[in-house]
Chain A
């Protein structure tokens, strides 16, 4: 698991950890059931306080990306991950529906919309 934190970033450190682990779970780099380093280990590695990693793990747990077993540690959740992907998929559908609606209102045809989507998709990497 790779985590890179910036001390000069405006984003709080626990947030940076949260975002990076979340991303790795969503992209399957961290697979379901994989064990995360203990909060204390991670704090030591990153040279930050334990309470910061604790906060990041608590947020990850609250949003269902990981779960903790007392005495064993924290692991990447499984069924929640599928739920998250499904939820994300639903959001994407809704947003695309809105874009389609808007396109129809001003008479943009499907090929043109596809082209626009392709262009934006390629740009934002």
Chain B
């Protein structure tokens, strides 16, 4: 399968923060959800993908092209949605369009107006009067109106009410119908990913933890519940993270089958949510990183 985004051994250091040897790829024709807590490197990674930052070491290639030689061509083919307002607040949506339109060869006014109508956006009101949800819709409109092959969205669902979030997911499903589009989006609202994401890329503390097909996550991972007496120094190694309570323990395993073999019927295994995985990885990161690539 073709990779639209490829990061190879990307390193980037700031004051007190560092992306370490991050390598992953994003497959063409699919939706990849990008998850991780606050301050673990999600935005930095997206900025590297957008060439707003350059790696200290390693390579970033988009559509198989290198930013050093093909920046303009790459940017033409990307639609980008920020989590912050990147528009000039004193302009109207129409004026903003007039600025953005000439930048893109494939700009499509009919498409632009169809989204404006669908999102019920006012064309002639100043953007400063827009609510957070409206700004996001305006941002989406701009990103979707030039037939981008790759959409990169930083927290597109944050600040949106549940009804519009659902509508957005429908729009994304529509975009994916021909199999030529690729979407890479970061989110905190992991429930949205259940409905749309094909792959999940998870980073933590500046490291890439995994990129997996969504369904393999529930094949590999499980929440394990049992009596505290079952835990000792050896069995604890089995888990990504453990929470102990007076009445028992709850833990996350990344090797569901093996854990099942070890504990048998003495424990209960449940399907984990992405939030569970994020939470336990946070708790047990040191051990986890050693045992995973």
Q: Which residues of A does B touch, CB under 8 Å?
A: 7, 10, 12-14, 38, 40-41, 43-44, 47-52, 54-55
Contact of A49 among B170, B178, B196, B271 (CB under 8 A): B196
Considering only CB atoms, which chain A residue lies closest to B169 in the complex?
A47
Contact (Cβ within 8 A) B215 A50: no
Residues of A within 8 A of B196 (CB): 49
The one of A40, A49, A55 in contact with B195, judged by C-beta atoms closer than 8 angstroms, is: A49
Interchain CB contact under 8 A, B214 and A10: no
Q: Which residues of A contact B174 (CB under 8 A)?
A: 44
Among candidates A38, A47, A51, residue contacting B30 with C-beta atoms closer than 8 Å: A51
Q: Is the interface of B mostly helix, strand, loop or mixed?
A: helix
Given contacts A10-B271, A51-B30, 20 further A-B contacts (CB under 8 A): A7-B194, A12-B215, A12-B218, A12-B219, A40-B177, A40-B178, A40-B179, A44-B170, A47-B173, A48-B195, A49-B31, A49-B198, A50-B30, A50-B176, A51-B199, A51-B213, A51-B214, A52-B198, A52-B215, A55-B215
Q: How near does chain B come to A51, taking the closest CB pair, in angstroms?
A: 4
The 10 closest A-B pairs by CB, nearest first: A51-B198, A44-B173, A49-B198, A40-B177, A47-B195, A51-B213, A50-B198, A49-B197, A49-B214, A49-B196
Task: Produce 1/0 per residue, B208-226, CB < 8 A to A.
Answer: 0000011100110000000
In contact, B31 and A50 (Cβ under 8 angstroms): yes
CB distance from A52 to the nearest CB of B (A): 6
A55 to B212, CA, bound (A): 14
Q: Which residues of B contact A51 (CB under 8 A)?
A: 30, 198-199, 213-215
Q: Whose C-beta in chain B lies nearest to the C-beta of A39?
A: B179
- Give the size of the chain B interface in residues (CB under 8 angstroms): 23
Known: A7-B194, A10-B271, A50-B31. A44 touches B215 (CB 8 A): no
Looking at B30, B177, B198, B199, the one whose CB has the most chain A CB atoms below 10 A away is B198
Of the candidates A10, A40, A47, A50, the one having the most CB atoms from chain B within 10 angstroms of its own CB is A50
24 pairs from A and B in contact (CB 8 Å cutoff)? A10-B271, A13-B215, A14-B215, A40-B173, A40-B176, A40-B179, A41-B177, A44-B173, A44-B174, A44-B176, A44-B177, A47-B195, A48-B194, A49-B195, A49-B197, A50-B31, A50-B176, A51-B30, A51-B198, A51-B199, A52-B198, A52-B214, A54-B198, A55-B215
- Closest residue of chain B to A52, judged by CB? B215
In whole Å, how far is B88's beta carbon from the nearest beta carbon of chain A?
36
In angstroms, Cα B177 to Cα A43, docked, is 9
Q: Which of B159-214 contact A (CB under 8 A)?
A: 169-170, 173-174, 176-179, 194-199, 213-214
Q: Which residues of B contact A10 (CB under 8 A)?
A: 271
When C-beta atoms are compared, the residue in chain A nearest to B33 turns out to be A49
> How far, in whole Å, are A50 and B169 apart by their CA atoms in the complex?
13
The residues of A that contact B173 with a CB separation of less than 8 Å are 40, 43-44, 47
A residues in contact with B31, CB < 8 Å: 49-50
* Distance to closest chain A CB from B180 (angstroms): 11
Distance (whole angstroms) from the CB of B119 to the closest CB of chain A: 19
Tell me the minimal C-beta distance from A97 to chain B in angstroms. Answer: 34
- Among residues of B, the one whose C-beta sits closest to the C-beta of A51 is B198
Closest to B198 in A: A51
Closest CB-CB distance, B269 to chain A, in whole Å? 10
Complex Cα distance, B215 from A43, in Å, reads 14
CB distance from B157 to the nearest CB of A (A): 15
Closest to A56 in B: B215
CB distance from A40 to the nearest CB of B (A): 5
